[in-house]
Amino acid sequence: MRIPFAAQAYQARSIPLSSQRLVNLYAEQAPEGAPSPLVVYGTPGLSLFADLGTGPVRGLRVAAGALCVVAGETLYAVSSGGTATALGTIPGTGIVRMTDNGTQLVVVTPETGAGYVYDTDGPTFAQITDPDWPGAGSCDFIDQYGIFTVPNTGRFFISALADLTSYDALDIATAESAPDNLVRVFVDHREVWLFGTDSTEVWYNSGAAAFPFERVSGGILERGCTAAGSVAKCDNTVFWLGNDRVIYRAAGYQPQRISTHAIEYALAQVADLTDAEAFTYTQEGHGFYVLTIPQANAGAGMTLCYDVATGLWHERVSGASAALRGRWRAQGQAYAYGRNIVGDCQSGKLYALDLDTHTEDGATIRRLATSPPVAADGRRMLHLRLEVQVESGAGLQSGQGEDPQAMLRWSDDGGRTWGNEHWASMGAQGQYDRRVQWRRMGASRNRVYELSISDPVKVAIIGATLDTQPLGA
């Protein structure tokens, strides 16, 4: 019989119900006539683009045609060849928010409320010192106005027209539909989304003389945002982590739930989600919403990734530990010079997301997929042979991956404990007819299989076939 390996991450509250994990792998709909409805591919590796020295990378943005990056306490312009030029100093260690008007880039540090402007026309760099600057927690840009939230209030303010260094104390307004503080301002489709802790409002540029922005009629969502950094856009809409620990995308002015009960169970295990950060990127037709929760797994972190193309979730983890728990090291993203560039949460390195790179700057990527439970109405059955269809013959010419291996183990208690490791070759280079299979695997009433691959080769899991024999009650 054909059995599926995990098409998504779905570890339920009850592990025997579902202990599915899909780590550093994502599913894609197969074409009609394919041997399986889904194929599972390896996620992109990290190819070194630039090393800026002291880290971590705190923010990235393309402004005036250049990739601008804050790493450590320095703002850099990074060329297409990876050459970095220091532009100024941004004190602090936390994530920054960035926006620009085409010639001026503004960087806001939410931990202090300070703002800094790099002007390409000068070029000049300076901290914003206008006496009417009230401090900012987030920023964005619309119609030649910079737009900012005032920390720990329900207010937001704007810059002078086409000048991110100039401010007027009267150019300020309050999101008044609920008495909550604003955590993030975000612009999408020329509308200003004001995310509060308990509610969200949508405003637009009406051109009014006193203050040019007004609330959209009906633009009130009775759902707030628990993490300012979780707001991102992809697939022509906005995504965020709600104040009810549910992940949403906007459907017009309505929040549409995209998280599963299993994802929500994982989020419920984390005491504090306020420092969660997200970015999105698109690669080969897949739009990914990547959410990292630094305080999950006892501080090791967790990265959950939603594929807009399929509506399925998977995990991303850096490192190759036995438990494979932790966060992906990618932090912040910008599409620059024809590539998806991400920063490093631990260093000042920048990487290109590359589907043809099978390491993270030389470090091992371990990929893992588990099957749904294999059962026969509670009766014992003998597992005679399991064959996993992979793209075989993808071995390297030499070194690790010359004869790539797949490791299989299984659990007969619903995924609570696991048996020994069993290895099989996926075929050296050119061995395209290699069959990846295991035999004489004992008997079970309810079994979960786990497949793991660590060699730096292309991974494509097409399906699996299991031969069984019933043994009675």
pLDDT tens-digit readout, 22-55: 999 999 998 887 778 889 999 999 999 999 999 9
| Kind of pairing between the strands at 443-444 and 363-364 | unpaired
Residue 407 has pLDDT above 70, yes or no: yes
DSSP state of 427: -
In degrees, rounded to 5, the angle at the alpha carbon of residue 256 between the alpha carbons of residues 251 and 258 is: 125
pLDDT of 170 reads 97
User: Minimal CA–CA distance to 280: which of 255, 256, 307, 301?
Assistant: 307
Asked whether the predicted pLDDT for residue 6 surpasses 80, the reply is no
Instruction: Give me the residues paired with residue 20 across strands.
Output: 10
Alpha helices in 130-227 (DSSP H): none
**Backbone phi and psi for residue 265, each to the nearest 5 degrees, phi listed first:** -65, -40
Q: What is the pLDDT of residue 310?
A: 95
Given a contact cutoff of 8 angstroms between Cβ atoms, the answer to whether 313 and 239 are in contact is no
Backbone angles phi, psi at 113, to 5 degrees: 85, 0
Average pLDDT over residues 294-308: 97
Q: Which residues contact 398 (CB under 8 A, 6 or more apart)?
A: none
- Which letter, b or e, does each residue of 407-425 get, where b requires 16 or more Cβ atoms within 10 Å of its Cβ? ebebbbebbeeeeeeeebe
pLDDT score of 16 more than 70: no
Query: Position 295: which residue type?
Result: Q
What's the pLDDT tens digit per position in 225-248? 999 999 999 999 999 999 999 999
Taking only the tens place, the pLDDT of each residue in 125-161 is: 999 999 999 999 999 999 999 999 999 999 999 999 9
Task: Give residue-wise pLDDT tens across range 413-426.
Answer: 888 899 999 999 99
Q: Tell me the CB-side half-sphere exposure of residue 290, using CA atoms within 13 A.
A: 22
- Residue ranges and CATH numbers for the domains of the chain are 2-43+367-470 (2.60.120.260), 45-357 (2.130.10.10)
- Looking at residue 168, its pLDDT comes to 98
| CA within 13 Å, CB half, 50 | 25
CA nearest neighbour of 380 among 310, 455, 471: 471
Asked whether the beta carbons of 436 and 387 are under 8 A apart, the reply is yes
The three state secondary structure string of 233-299 is: EECCEEEEEECCCCEEEEECCEEEECCCHHHHHHHHCCCCCCCCEEEEEEECCEEEEEEEECCCHHH
Q: Write the pLDDT tens digit of every residue in 387-399.
A: 999 999 999 999 9
Give the pLDDT confidence of 59-118 residue by residue, as tens digits.
999 999 999 999 999 999 999 999 999 999 999 999 999 999 999 999 999 999 999 999
> Which among 427, 419, 429, 357 is positioned nearest to 388, based on CA atoms?
427
Section 461-470 average pLDDT: 92
- Do 209 and 185 form a contact (C-beta atoms < 8 A)? no
The answer, yes or no, to whether residue 192 has pLDDT greater than 80, is yes
Q: Which pair of tokens denotes residue 470?
A: 């019933």
Cα separations in angstroms, 56 against 71, 92, 116, 342, 348: 6, 11, 19, 12, 5
Average pLDDT, the chain: 95
Q: Which residues are 386's β-sheet partners? A: 438, 466
The pLDDT value given to residue 473: 63
Q: Which of 278, 184, 253 is nearest to 225 (CA)?
A: 184
Give me the pLDDT at residue 60, please: 98
Between the alpha carbon of residue 208 and those of residues 28, 35, 130, 177, the distances in Å are 48, 60, 24, 20
Pick the closest to residue 50 from 361, 277, 338, 365 (CA basis): 361
Q: Which of 101, 100, 99, 98 is nearest to 109 (CA)?
A: 98
